[in-house]
């Protein structure tokens, strides 16, 4: 340790004593300031919230620091996609059922739609020239 550094360390020991001997009023205000700062840390601590009956998870804060929350959010997203796919499948089945019922209940047999001659006759009937 150089002479300069040694002198600096001596001075710092004196300064340490000065910092130890602060007035009670000052130390109390410092303590209060510390408490306020800590409360601020708690208020701004990242949290996730459950929104609505669906239970969608919203990410909060830095996701790199919260792998569990990230995993949870991804899981919820996948669950949502799966539910949406299932729901769309159900709707499509309902529509197909209606069409099938209409075809079977119709006077015209379903095989007629496969007959090219019948298709040509329909188009001829629909066109204005055919009337």
Alpha helices in 21-112 (DSSP H): 24-43, 67-105
Give the nearest distance from C-beta 71 to other proteins in angstroms: 18
By CB under 8 A, residue 1 contacts other proteins:
no
Of residues 1, 42, 68, 104, which one binds other proteins by CB under 8 A?
42
Q: Which of 8/79 has CB closer to other proteins? A: 8
Q: What is the number of alpha carbons within 13 Å of residue 58 lying toward its C-beta?
A: 9
Q: How far is the CB of 63 from other proteins (least distance, A)?
A: 12
* Choices 4-12, 71-79, 107-115, 117-125; region in contact with other proteins by CB under 8 A: 4-12
Residue that is written with structure tokens 């609505």 in the block: 52
Single out the residue of 38, 39, 77 nearest to residue 58, CA to CA.
77
Query: What are 65's two structure tokens?
Result: 């620091």
E strand or H helix that includes residue 126: helix 116-126
The answer to whether 32 and 40 are in contact (CB under 8 A) is no
- Told to check if 36 binds other proteins by CB under 8 A, we report yes
Question: Cβ of residue 73: shortest distance to other proteins, in angstroms?
Answer: 18
Q: Give the binding site for other proteins (CB under 8 A).
A: 3-12, 14-15, 17-22, 26-27, 29-30, 33-34, 36-38, 40-42, 44-46, 61-62, 65
């Amino acid at each position: 340790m150089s002479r300069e550094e040694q002198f600096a360390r001596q001075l710092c020991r004196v300064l340490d004593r000065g910092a130890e001997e602060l007035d009670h009023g000052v130390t109390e205000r410092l303590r209060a300031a510390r408490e306020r700062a800590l409360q601020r840390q708690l208020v701004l601590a990242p949290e996730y919230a459950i929104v609505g009956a669906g239970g969608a998870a919203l990410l909060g804060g830095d996701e790199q620091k919260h792998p569990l929350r990230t995993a949870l959010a991804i899981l919820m997203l996948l669950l949502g996609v799966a539910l949406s796919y299932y729901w769309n499948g159900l709707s499509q089945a309902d529509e197909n059922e209606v069409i099938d019922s209409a075809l079977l209940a119709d006077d015209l047999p379903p095989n007629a739609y496969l007959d090219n001659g019948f298709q040509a006759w329909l188009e001829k009937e629909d066109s204005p020239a055919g009337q």
